[in-house]
Structures are given as structure tokens and as C-alpha cells.
Structure 1
């Protein structure tokens, strides 16, 4: 594959539409390997799929290294024809033109000798073979994006509220604090995080490693109702405050490249909170009518699960 510059992205600012030149149309091995949105939508892909690459896009791709937020779906209009975007994934092109997709990418994210691409997964159509050089109008499914953004914003708020609720269970400083100076249980114990249009689900590992860092799980199961009550009270207060939310470049970054480091930033009443994040978010917490977190602990006490459900206005 011809090597192109790393894709520029506008989704961090909340953009859901844009226009850009088509740089490449690449045959993909299968929808299953490229992503899951097409399968879940029941798309007909008997003719195979292709990856459409443009210079600049509003589409958010699933991150192959931390696939918490799914890729956007929507449409791409090329030469008067609208093509459904079945999924949006991360691709990369190496120094010798080798193309890799998602989990098959053999280098660490952001490796400078590789170009990093937002790959829009489309059903293969003959007309797409001549699309390179044409202008594409890209339209994200705004309703789905908004739902995913609400879930992602809720996920970060729950992380901060959970850190606060569990702060008294640390018998020594674990060496990592959140934006408010509390032990960062969320990042230390996190095993996986997943969002969909309805909720975020975060799984935390409660094992030897966490105990060695100073966390005391004794009586955690019995304390879950009180913990959930504390978390939800804090969430309700933050939603009522209608705090502003934004995504910022960090570490001196000035580029709109896909690989630029970004952070979720929220101006909460207690102060400004910041969490590294490559996803999409709401603009204000007042866009939600509510946010509810439920907590559960596995029978053996080794996994804590937090499910956070946003209620849109």
C-alpha cells in the first residue's frame, strides 16, 4: 500500500461531519477481523469489505490497544453515491508499505516510522475502485455518537466517584493519584472497560497485586450498597452542576493527528479533572438527566464490576 500521512481527526471537538479527499481504498480480510459493528447490525457483506482512507475525518475509530469505545458508524458520500460505514477501525502502514489492521498491527501505537490511519469499513462495491482522488462527504451517525459519548463521559465520572468512595480502603499511598489527589483505584485496578449506546461497564481486578499496593478488600461485599450510594450521590451532584466537558491535547501536542495524546477534561465543582482519553464526550454534564452506577462483586471477591447508565435529557 502507498504510504500516506497519519490521518487528521476532528472527532475530539465533537464534529460529526466533514469533507476530505479519498486517499486509498484497501481490500479488507473480513468484517469480523476489521470490527464488530457491521456484524451486530446484520450487514450483508457477501462481496467482502474495503477500507476507505481519507486525509481528515470526523469518524472515531476503535483503538486496537484499548478498545473501550466502539468505532463510529454513518455514511460516506462519494461521487453522488452514499455508502454505509459499517465500522471504523485503526490501520497502519509501515516503512515498506506493509498494511496492518487492528490487532494485527505489529508495532506499538504511535510508532513514528509508521503512518496511522482511520479506516472506514465499507461493503465492497465496483464503483469504489475509482474513488481515489474524489471528494468524500463523511457523516457520522450523530445519535449513536451522542449515546457513546454519554457512556464514555459517565465512565470517567464514575471512576472519580469510585476513587473517592474507596479512598479509605488504602492503608498506604499506592503511588498513583487521580486529579483530586486520591488513590487512583480506577487506573490501578482496571482490567477492562467497554462502552455501548446504553452504558459503560468497567471491570476491576481485586487480587494480590492490588493488596500489595495497599488496598484492603476486607468486607467489600458487605459495603457495596453504601459504596454505590456514595458514588451515585456524587454523580448526581456533578450532573446538577452542569460542568463543562472538553477533550484537550496534552504533552505539548499541537497536531490533530489520530495518534496525538489527548485527555478528557471536566470543570467539576471540586476542581478541574483530567483523564487521558482518546474517545468522544459530551460538551456539558447538563446534557444528562441523570447517571446511575451499579456495583457488583464476584463470588470469590476478585472482580468488582461497575455499570454506569446515563439518562439523556
Structure 2
């Protein structure tokens, strides 16, 4: 196959439209094809950590408009392009080139054609609100459980013991919210976590909600810092909270200010799991009437 360059992505700056040149087309199975552009506003789902789903939208090539049924990370060492679940390495692995593959149905276009991307902006805004609220909720949960540790533990971006990072099994962003699943087993207990801190989940939710309310009321700015425009370049979510600037590595999309959120609340439930129990945190965000702006980008 012809050598590919990394896809330049514009979604970190909030772009929902872009025009690019088709640099590669491949069969995606089931009557679908995958198109790689030199630049795109489309946010793909990352197979290694698929927390934020792919954008919705369309791909216009000449007079033909294709619905993008999926957008995934593609990767190649120069021999063939692997898509989504077939990619065997994490995005950014040395020796690999990473691209955004737009999956659509119908007659495949040709390399060299111009394609216009249009993302569903309302769906993007809802996912961005959900992703920002997810980060805030994880930090608030860490803070609310800070006294539950009997040993020194690694800390989060605010200096609290990092329950979220140590216990997370799965995180799924959804429109205006998220669902995070934590494993409470022997490994976490050996690290010093006392599960009795999860005895009253309503009280825990109240403590988390109080912090979320305080942080959102402050209306701090949110931005994305990036080392470059390539899909695999490092990106960092930066949020201004009262008395602190929080920095978390993140490849997703976000609101531009906490003022874009009217509120965020959490609910917890437990379920049995092999080797222990799982704690599930469901976060619900409500956008303000002035919300919807995308995080600014700083390089």
C-alpha cells in the first residue's frame, strides 16, 4: 500500500466541519468501505480505551453524501491498514502510523478526491458535556473517598488518592453523562483501600454532588493542550477549578467552560463480580442555556 501520513485532526479545537483529500480507501466488510482523509474534524472511537464513542455525521464526495456509520482508529506499519479492533497496539506506539478511518456504505470513492466532513454538532456537544462531567465526577469521587485509604496511594491531578485510576475497569461517555465501573477486589484492598467507605452510597453521592456543584458554580475555563495536529499527538484536558488547575491526559472532546454546564450529579450502585464487587457510578450532566462551546486548543 502507499505510505500514509498521520491524519491531522481538528476536533480538539471544536471543529465540526472540514474539507480533506482522500488518501486511502479500503474494504471494511459487510458492504462498507473505509476512507482516510489527510485532515478531518471527525472524532473516532479508540479501540484501546473506547470511552468516547465516534462522532455522527456525513461525508460528501462530489454530489454524493454518505452517512458515516462509524469512525475508528486505523494503524499501519506500511504494509496494510488495520482498522478498529484489529489494531494490535495503543495509539501513539512508535513505528506505527495512526489515521482516522471513516466507515460508510455504498460505492467506494477514489483516492485523490475531495471530501467534505460534517459532524452532528448537537450530538458532539452532548458528548463533550458528558466527557467533561465524567472527569469532574472522577476527581470529586477521589476527594470524597480520600479518608478511605490506610496506606499512601498514588494521587490524582488534585492530590487526592487516585481511587478512580486504581479501580477503574471501564468508562463510557454518553450524551450528557457517563457510566464508570470500578472493581473493588483484593488488589485494591492490598493497596490500602477500605471498602467500608462504600457502605452508604447515598451519602457518598451527596459528597460528590456537593463538590461538583461548587466546581461548576465557579465556571472555570476548559481547554485542550496538544503537542501537534496528528491523531496520535498527546492531548491534555486542562480545567480551572477553585484554587487549582487540573490537567488530565485525554483524547476526547469537551466544553469550553464549566459555565456551559448547569449541573452534574452522580448515582451509585453495587453489583457482584468475580473476585469482588463492582461499583458503578452514573454521571448526569445538564447543559446551561448558553452551553455548547468547545474547549479551546493551546499548543
Q: 1:178 aligned to 144, 156, 160, which one? A: 156
Rounded to whole Å, the distance in 1 between the matches of 2:148 and 2:271 is 18
Rounded to whole Å, the distance in 1 between the matches of 2:91 and 2:101 is 15
1:194 is aligned to 2:169: no
- The answer for the alignment partner of 1:38 in structure 2 is none
- The answer for the alignment partner of 2:286 in structure 1 is 311
For 1:135-167, what per-residue CA distance to the aligned partner results, in whole angstroms no more than 9, with x for missing partners? 211111101111111111110000010000000
Rounded to whole Å, the distance in 2 between the matches of 1:120 and 1:12 is 17
Q: 1:220 aligned to 198, 201, 205, which one? A: 198
- The answer for the alignment partner of 1:292 in structure 2 is 265
Rounded to whole Å, the distance in 2 between the matches of 1:106 and 1:185 is 28
Query: What count of residue pairs does the alignment treat as equivalent?
Result: 286
For 1:99-137, what per-residue CA distance to the aligned partner results, in whole angstroms no more than 9, with x for missing partners? 211121133432332211100111122xx333x212211
> Going by fraction, where is strand more abundant, 1 or 2?
2
CA contact under 8 A between 2:61 and 2:109: conserved in structure 1? no
Question: Mind listing any 5+ residue stretches in structure 2 that lack a counterpart?
Answer: 289-299
- The answer for the alignment partner of 2:250 in structure 1 is 277
For 1:170-229, what per-residue CA distance to the aligned partner results, in whole angstroms no more than 9, with x for missing partners? 11111x2112111011111100000122420000011111111111112522x2111100
- The answer for the alignment partner of 1:101 in structure 2 is 83
CA contact under 8 A between 2:152 and 2:192: conserved in structure 1? yes
Moved over 3 A (4+): none
Question: Mind listing any 5+ residue stretches in structure 1 that lack a counterpart?
Answer: 31-47
- Stretch of structure 1 that moved more, 268-277 or 57-66: 268-277
Rounded to whole Å, the distance in 2 between the matches of 1:71 and 1:161 is 27
For 1:16-39, what per-residue CA distance to the aligned partner results, in whole angstroms no more than 9, with x for missing partners? 111111112211024xxxxxxxxx
CA contact under 8 A between 1:3 and 1:115: conserved in structure 2? no
Rounded to whole Å, the distance in 2 between the matches of 1:309 and 1:144 is 15
CA contact under 8 A between 1:165 and 1:231: conserved in structure 2? yes
Rounded to whole Å, the distance in 2 between the matches of 1:94 and 1:284 is 39
Rounded to whole Å, the distance in 2 between the matches of 1:272 and 1:198 is 23
Using structure 2 for the length normalisation, give the TM-score.
0.92
CA contact under 8 A between 1:148 and 1:280: conserved in structure 2? yes
Rounded to whole Å, the distance in 2 between the matches of 1:19 and 1:169 is 51
- Please state whether the residue corresponding to 1:278 is helix, strand or coil: coil
- Please state whether the residue corresponding to 1:6 is helix, strand or coil: coil
